[in-house]
């Protein structure tokens, strides 16, 4: 397992690199599609490769609940179980503790939680988190962390940050496999001094990589960018930097500009299933009437299978009829859009033109406004709570 920075932008912190893992090489900066339950929804591993994916993510929390860690172990590990032969990351489950806070209780010992599937009670510790990820066999595994809401006050965030740092030590002490890289997760909310303390504590432990957690949770974008800018300055130059939960095009540019190497988010696939499609002008809602007789691709110049073969009018028709093909075609488009964007970023970093490429793209791109983004996130959290209530 190794990481090498191959080129840095002289005008920003943007950099290109190569992350080498037991299951393959990953050029950075890179976007990681999320396969929470051992699948990137609606797509096969072969399709992911064709879209340009080099590494994907699975979630320990969800896989622990079903099918169960022991089932995946019996069937040869996560790579074999899901038919993905490239590099894998597994998330620790810390974010799920945050997003399902009404079902969990946190202490220094670990997290007592109820399953969002059937309400059964479970207890997860940092040691178990690492043990489960070692069994799953991902190339990159994450330390167990506590992810507080950004609205929490200084004292509450400080308590969560200090607990995350203590858990990180326990995770590192329990790690046994040498063919996996364990990343520490920097917490501290939107408080710069807490971010500094967390980063200093984790870097003193010598993790193989460092993630920035607890961001893009509803705080204004300028706050997110400021925290990333500040935190990156506390992290080693020779280790990968991973910004968790970020996947919109404009945010990817801002993260890369600040020296981030790895991103992951469910955003491209989730909005695809709801009819939201990325274009070079901004996000388009394919259900809108304007696309009913649009005889052309949703995004001119896109090289994805969807845009090369189908009109926006056809996609509009599929979504209106709630045909299953609509989810696949929209997901193919959004993931290819993001993958191609990262490929172009890498190329422009290498040839020294990244700042002008960023300016050119963002000049013509209209991001979704903050109010709409916040409303969409709140609606999704409300939906999750409703789904649990229906099952319990």
List the catalytic residues. Answer: 91, 264
Token code pair at residue 40: 């990137």
* Adjacent-strand bridge partners of 15: 8
CA pair distance 170, 144, nearest whole angstrom: 9
Question: What is the phi/psi pair of residue 280, to 5°?
Answer: -70, -10
CA pair distance 53, 61, nearest whole angstrom: 23
Which of 191, 212, 214 lies closest to 99 in space, CA to CA?
214
What single-letter DSSP state applies at residue 366? B
With both helix axes pointing from N to C terminus, report the angle between 324-350 and 249-257 in degrees, rounded to the nearest 10.
30
**Integer angstrom CA distances of residue 186 from 71, 122, 212, 215, 244:** 32, 25, 5, 10, 10
**Integer angstrom CA distances of residue 120 from 42, 70, 94:** 28, 18, 18
Question: What is the phi/psi pair of residue 72, to 5°?
Answer: -65, -40
* Adjacent-strand bridge partners of 259: none
CA pair distance 109, 202, nearest whole angstrom: 19
H or E element: which one contains 230? helix 221-232
Residue at token pair 């929209």: 330
Indicate the SS3 state at residue 7. strand
CA pair distance 335, 300, nearest whole angstrom: 16
In residues, how long is the chain? Answer: 392
């Amino acid at each position: 397992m190794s990481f090498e920075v191959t080129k840095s932008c002289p005008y920003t912190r943007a950099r290109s690199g190569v992350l080498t893992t037991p299951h393959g090489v990953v050029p950075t900066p890179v976007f990681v599609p999320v396969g929470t339950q051992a699948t990137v929804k609606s797509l096969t591993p072969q399709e992911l490769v064709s879209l340009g994916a080099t590494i994907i993510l699975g979630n320990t929390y969800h896989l622990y609940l079903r099918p169960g860690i022991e089932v995946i172990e019996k069937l040869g590990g996560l790579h074999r179980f899901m038919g993905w032969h490239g590099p894998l990351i597994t998330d620790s489950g810390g974010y799920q503790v945050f997003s399902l806070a009404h079902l969990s209780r946190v202490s220094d010992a670990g997290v007592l939680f109820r399953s969002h599937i059937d309400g059964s009670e479970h207890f997860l510790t940092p040691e178990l988190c690492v043990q489960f990820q070692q069994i799953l066999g991902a190339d990159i595994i994450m330390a167990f962390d506590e992810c507080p809401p950004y609205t929490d006050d200084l004292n509450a965030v400080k308590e969560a940050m200090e607990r995350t740092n203590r858990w990180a030590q326990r995770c590192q002490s329990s790690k046994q496999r040498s063919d996996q890289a364990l990343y520490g997760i920097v917490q501290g909310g939107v408080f710069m001094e807490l971010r500094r303390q967390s980063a200093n504590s984790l870097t003193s432990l010598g993790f193989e990589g460092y993630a920035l957690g607890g961001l893009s949770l509803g705080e204004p974008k300028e706050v997110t960018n400021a925290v990333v800018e500040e935190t990156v300055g506390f992290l080693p130059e020779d280790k990968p930097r991973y910004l968790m939960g970020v996947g919109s095009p404009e945010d990817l540019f801002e993260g890369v500009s600040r020296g981030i190497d790895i991103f992951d988010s469910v955003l491209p696939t989730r909005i695809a299933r709801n009819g939201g499609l990325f274009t070079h002008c901004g996000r388009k809602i394919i259900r809108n009437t304007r696309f009913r007789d649009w005889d052309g691709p949703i995004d001119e110049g896109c090289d994805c299978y969807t845009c090369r073969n189908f009109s926006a009018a056809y996609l509009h028709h599929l979504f209106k009829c709630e045909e299953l093909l609509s989810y696949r075609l929209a997901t193919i488009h959004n993931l290819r859009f993001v993958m191609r964007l990262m490929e172009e970023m890498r190329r422009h970093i290498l040839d020294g033109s990244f700042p002008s490429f960023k300016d050119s793209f963002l000049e013509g791109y209209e991001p979704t406004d903050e109010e709409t983004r916040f409303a969409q996130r709140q609606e999704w959290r409300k939906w999750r709570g409703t789904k649990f209530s229906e099952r319990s």
